[in-house]
Structure 1
Amino acid sequence: MNPTLSPIAPLRDRIKAAPPYWANDTIEAWDELAFQSMQEFVARAYWSDQASINVHRVVGTRHPDYGGRTWLNLLNEGKRMRLRLREHADNRSYYLDTARKKPTMDYVTFDGLDYYIGSEGNHRTCIARFDFHFHRLSTLHGVTVTHYDIDQELYRRYLALKALCRERRLPYRFAGQQRPLRREDTAGWKLDRFEVSLAVENNRTGERQQLDRGGAGRLLDELRGKSHRRWWRCWP
């Protein structure tokens, strides 16, 4: 940090004098196709509008205009950045307050470690990252978080089965299936639990079956061998 600058110097001046090491890191673009592919494999979905996150763990955005830019580029060229910087200068406490953020600041995560900006909050997230860097802070409060817990093992087997059948031109079709189990909730949060399985259909015979994680693994082993036809004949 440049010792000649006051801690209350305008944020842009401080960034220009001593840009953070991550200022030119690229903001990851949200992969909507991958998300759609994973949605049916969500075993738990948690939502809260009173959450707290480490703002330095925001790695990407769902906004098509900002994915692929750097944090510094967003700060300098974001569509509403001039307005948001003026608001920050007038009311920095907004970023420190623990109350729900209004307008909403919305994030999505799959692992509770890496976050993507959702429907709102691109400019404010960028400002918070730079501001908190200079003030040695990390936690942004009062935000909305959706955490999707994917059955990763079943999803990996689904992808492997699709790839294998595409490669060998096998006549099977696969899709994830969710069955709601229960919901837990009180004011400001909810947790939905699902039973996740893999639906398999033989396009030639019309035979169908639902498989759990173990069944998907056994099918994958069977199809990798030479005797994959026996697997279908063993169905009742």
Structure 2
Amino acid sequence: MSPMINIPSAQDLVRRALASPPSWARQPLQDWHDTLPFEKQAFVTEEHWKGMDALEVFRVVGVCHPGYVGKTWLDLLTGGQRMRQNLARLDENPDYYQPGGLRESNSGIDFLTLDGLRFYVGNNGLHRTCIARFLGDLPAGVPRLLSPVEITHYQVDYAFYGLYRRALDFIQENHLAIRLEPIRQPVGRDDGEGWKTDHFHTAIVWYDLSDRRPAKVVELDYHHFIDRLVRLESHTLKAKLLKPLGWVGRWMRRQRGRP
């Protein structure tokens, strides 16, 4: 059993933080939606969730809540919307931040990650994570591990996403009448006690709007999409090369028509 740690009062914690802020205290909270923007979400092929995980508190770099993006950890400690209530709970129940304290209270803290290295607070736990960071920076040796917490790890098909971005840029640069819509569909789930992994299939719907008839629509997986894109690039570039020759041909026909 881990030894009990002397947890400072909320007032003492804030006083120490203001008097001598840690080097990370003025780091701004990053935006989860910059890490996984809307257009990238269709390329998530796996969502792995664990309900009884542990996380080193200093690996948390950001948040989902737009109201806190860009604020620093010190801003949050001294002016977070629910920080006063959470600091009061620190005084009421300092054992919450002891080893196993979260387990006794069913914390509900959840984190999101793409790379398994940088974590973002999801729907719950930002203020408590902030308190835990400042506690963990004290020389008293307060544990830096939050446990148990929920963690969702997203796996992105970056090869398919990069191909999609390449296609969008090519279509825009060449003013082509084509619209692309990435979609994903669930294809299965693996699960066990305290964990689950959802699997998804990504495809891109290709809308050809080049004539006045109803759009030609085709749904493409990765391999069929790259084949179609390569053909489009080749055809478009060839047409560009032949365009000046068309002007020469028209000029020669006019010359032949003269008496």
Partner of 1:13: 15
Question: Does structure 2 conserve the Cα–Cα contact (< 8 Å) formed by 1:222 and 1:228?
Answer: no
Partner of 1:80: 82
Partner of 1:208: 217
Classify the secondary structure of the residue corresponding to 1:66.
coil
Tell me the TM-score normalised to structure 1 length: 0.83
Q: Distance in 2 between matches of 1:33 and 1:122?
A: 18
Structure 1 residue 90 and structure 2 residue 92: aligned?
yes
Once the two structures are TM-superposed, the CA of residue 100 in structure 1 deviates from its matched residue by 7.1
Cα distance change of structure 1 residues 34 and 160 upon mapping to structure 2, 3 Å threshold: farther
Letter of the structure 1 residue corresponding to residue 110 of structure 2: D
Unaligned stretches of 5+ residues in structure 2: 1-5, 240-259
Further displaced range: 127-136 or 200-209: 200-209
Letter of the structure 2 residue corresponding to residue 43 of structure 1: T
Tell me the TM-score normalised to structure 2 length: 0.76
Q: Distance in 2 between matches of 1:195 and 1:228?
A: 32
Letter of the structure 2 residue corresponding to residue 132 of structure 1: G
Structure 1 residue 37 and structure 2 residue 46: aligned?
no
Cα distance change of structure 1 residues 200 and 86 upon mapping to structure 2, 3 Å threshold: same
Classify the secondary structure of the residue corresponding to 1:24.
coil
Cα distance change of structure 1 residues 201 and 101 upon mapping to structure 2, 3 Å threshold: farther
Partner of 1:28: 30
Question: Does structure 1 conserve the Cα–Cα contact (< 8 Å) formed by 2:7 and 2:142?
Answer: no
Partner of 2:147: 141
Letter of the structure 2 residue corresponding to residue 207 of structure 1: K
Cα distance change of structure 1 residues 229 and 171 upon mapping to structure 2, 3 Å threshold: farther
Letter of the structure 1 residue corresponding to residue 222 of structure 2: R
Q: Distance in 2 between matches of 1:136 and 1:118?
A: 24
Q: Deviations over 1:61-108 (max 9, x none)?
A: 111221111110110011221221122233233233262764511211
Q: Which has the higher helix share?
A: 2
Alignment size in residue pairs: 225
Letter of the structure 2 residue corresponding to residue 204 of structure 1: S
Partner of 1:129: 133
Further displaced range: 117-126 or 177-186: 177-186
Once the two structures are TM-superposed, the CA of residue 20 in structure 1 deviates from its matched residue by 0.9
Classify the secondary structure of the residue corresponding to 2:42.
helix
Larger radius of gyration: 2
Structure 1 residue 120 and structure 2 residue 121: aligned?
no
Q: Distance in 2 between matches of 1:100 and 1:208?
A: 55
Aligned-residue CA RMSD in angstroms? 2.7
Partner of 2:115: 111
Classify the secondary structure of the residue corresponding to 2:96.
helix
Spell out the pairing of 1:152-231 with structure 2 (5 A cutoff).
152-204=158-210, 206-227=215-236
Once the two structures are TM-superposed, the CA of residue 123 in structure 1 deviates from its matched residue by 0.7
